[in-house]
Amino acid sequence: MPALTVKVKRFDGKKSWWQEYKVDIKSRKISVLDVLVKIKEEQDPTLAIRYSCRMAICGSCGMVINGVPRLACQTLLAEIKDDTITVEPMWNHRVIKDLVVDTEPNFEKLRKVKPYIIRDLKEIYESDMEIGQKPEELEKYYNFAYCIECGLCMAACPILATNDRFLGPMALNAAYRWSADSRDRGWEERAKIIDAEDGVWPCHLAYTCSAVCPRGVDPGFSIQLLKASLIRRAKRVL
């Protein structure tokens, strides 16, 4: 197996530079995350990477690999035909160190759209009613509920590159997911939040968010459904 060349964009708080590592690998059936951990263990313990589950469920290891925002644990070397891998931190985020970025702004935007069931609590506590959901009602929002909040869509969005006040695909997808839930009654409240200059309207259909989503969530489409619901002044999301 030829040695792999891994170029990592480093940042130490003051300056940024590209550092190259040569890694001997025995198989291409390992992930980019495995290679980075190997580098950290054997060559450079100062390399900062964020990871957790190693199986594309936690969303921690988002980074830009060979020019595409991807999860490092999900990107196998077999998919990258090249013997040179370029790894850099997620775009549109403030870099803390090396490949670790500040994801707090993403979660602040997520909290703004009230990502929970909004319903009259009196109704729930004072009656014995069961709030059920039919399979077709679940189907309406189920795909959009797969979001693991990895932030790759936020990294891929060209609008966030110039306007960091834009809510972004992650938050807007959550706004759709919760508003489309048949148990929720909070569409009017969320509509006021997203029908704003920096709400849903800066989106201009670049659709890269859906192209890079590791879970197939399609946040781009949920944003268009929100826009259609707002323009049509719908009582419930489409």
Partner 1 sequence: MKASTERLILITGALVMIIGMPLVIALALLLGKIPFEEVLTTHPLVIIPYAFVKIGWGLIWAIVAVDWVVHGSHGIRRVLIEFIKSERGRKIIDLVLNIVMVITGIIMFYVLVFVS
Partner 2 sequence: MRAGRGVLEWFRRLNLERIYFVIHRLTGIYLVLYIFPRPYLVLLSGSWEEALRLDMTPIGKMLAIIFIFSILFHGINGLRIVLIELGLISGRPLRHPIKPIPALRANKLHLTLIVATIVLTVVGMVVGSYLVLYGKEHLLVGP
What residue ranges bind partner 1 (CB under 8 A)?
A: 159, 162-165, 195-197, 199, 201-202, 204, 227, 230-231, 233
Interface with partner 2 by CB under 8 A: which residues? 9, 11, 16, 64, 67-68, 88-95, 101, 139, 142-143, 155-156, 158, 161-162, 204-208, 210-212, 215-218, 220-221, 224-225, 227-229, 231-232, 238
**Residue (88 or 149) nearer to partner 2, CB:** 88
By C-alpha distance, which of 113, 114, 88, 92 is closest to 102? 92
* Binding at 169: pick from partner 2, partner 1, none (beta carbon under 5-8 Å per type): none
User: Which amino acid is residue 64, in one-letter code?
Assistant: V
* In the complex, least distance from residue 233 CB atom to partner 1, rounded to whole angstroms: 8
Residues 6+ apart with CB under 8 A from 39: 6, 8, 21, 23, 47
* In the complex, least distance from residue 81 CB atom to partner 1, rounded to whole angstroms: 36
Report in angstroms the alpha-carbon separations of 146 from 8, 24, 37. 30, 36, 27
* Binding at 156: pick from partner 2, partner 1, none (beta carbon under 5-8 Å per type): partner 2
* In the complex, least distance from residue 41 CB atom to partner 2, rounded to whole angstroms: 25
8-state DSSP, 142: G
Residues 6+ apart with CB under 8 A from 199: 167, 172, 193
* In the complex, least distance from residue 195 CB atom to partner 1, rounded to whole angstroms: 5
114 in Cβ contact with 193 (< 8 Å): yes
